[in-house]
Chain A
Amino acid sequence: MIAGCALWVLAVSAAVAKPPDLSGVWLPDVADQSRQETQNIPPWKPEVRSQIQRMIADEDAGHPFLVLNHCLPYGMPSWMLITHNAFELLVTPGRITMLGEVDGNRMRRIYMDGRPHPADPDLTLHGHSIGRWVGDTLVVDTTAVAPQAYIAISEATGIPNNGDMHIVERIHLTAPDVMADDLEITAPKVLTRTWKTTRLFRRYPSRHFEITEGECAQEDLVAGKDKFGNDVFIDNPQNADGSVRPVK
Chain B
Amino acid sequence: MITRVRMPRKLFASLVGGVTLALAGAAFGHHSGAAYDFNHMAIMEATVKQVNWTNPHITFVVEKDVKAGEPASTWVFEVSSPGVLTRSGWTKRSLQPGDHATFRYAPLRSGTAGGFLREVTLANGQKLTFSFTPSG
Interface size on A, residues (CB 8 A): 59
Q: Identify the closest chain B residue to A125 (Cβ).
A: B1
Contact A216 B59 (CB under 8 A): no
B contact face: mostly helix, strand, loop, or mixed:
loop
Contact A209 B87 (CB under 8 A): yes
Interface residues of B in 12-47 (CB under 8 A from A): 12-13, 15-16, 19-24, 26-37
Contact A238 B61 (CB under 8 A): yes
Contact A146 B1 (CB under 8 A): yes
State A202–B134 Cα separation when bound (angstroms).
10
Q: Identify the closest chain A residue to B81 (Cβ).
A: A102
Contact B37 A62 (CB under 8 A): yes
Interface residues of A in 227-248 (CB under 8 A from B): 235-247
Q: Identify the closest chain A residue to B134 (Cβ).
A: A204
Contact A244 B55 (CB under 8 A): no
Contact A148 B54 (CB under 8 A): no
State A222–B4 Cα separation when bound (angstroms).
17
Cβ distance B20 to chain A, nearest Cβ, rounded Å = 6
Q: Which residues of A contact B11 (CB under 8 A)?
A: 235
Known: A244-B78, A247-B22. A64 touches B35 (CB 8 A): yes
Q: How many A-B residue pairs have CB under 8 A?
A: 189
- Judged by a CB distance under 8 angstroms, whether B96 is at the interface is no
Q: Which residues of B contact A66 (CB under 8 A)?
A: 28-29, 31-32
Q: Which residues of B contact A202 (CB under 8 A)?
A: 133, 135
Known: A235-B9, A237-B12, A237-B15. A30 touches B27 (CB 8 A): no
Contact A215 B29 (CB under 8 A): no
Q: Which residues of A contact B112 (CB under 8 A)?
A: 243
Q: Which of B15, B22, B34 contacts A62 (CB 8 A)?
A: B34
Of listed A27, A202, A217, A237, residue having the most chain B CB within 10 A: A237
Contact B110 A72 (CB under 8 A): no
Q: Which residues of B contact A58 (CB under 8 A)?
A: 34
Known: A86-B83, A235-B6. A30 touches B132 (CB 8 A): yes
Interface size on B, residues (CB 8 A): 58
- Judged by a CB distance under 8 angstroms, whether A171 is at the interface is no
State A137–B36 Cα separation when bound (angstroms).
41
- Judged by a CB distance under 8 angstroms, whether A85 is at the interface is yes
State A212–B82 Cα separation when bound (angstroms).
7
Contact A218 B114 (CB under 8 A): no
Contact B34 A243 (CB under 8 A): no
Q: Which residues of B contact A218 (CB under 8 A)?
A: 54-55
State A146–B2 Cα separation when bound (angstroms).
13
State A102–B85 Cα separation when bound (angstroms).
12
A/B interface sample: 23 pairs, CB < 8 A: A30-B132, A31-B136, A58-B34, A62-B34, A62-B35, A66-B28, A67-B32, A70-B3, A85-B81, A102-B30, A102-B56, A102-B81, A204-B134, A207-B134, A211-B83, A214-B55, A214-B56, A214-B83, A235-B9, A240-B16, A241-B21, A241-B114, A242-B21
User: Which B residues form the contact surface with A (CB < 8 A)?
Assistant: 1-4, 6-7, 9, 11-13, 15-16, 19-24, 26-37, 50, 52, 54-57, 59, 61, 76, 78, 80-84, 86-87, 108-110, 112-114, 132-136
Please provide the 5 A-B residue pairs with the shortest distance between their CB atoms, ordered closest to farther. Answer: A242-B22, A156-B32, A246-B35, A64-B32, A62-B109
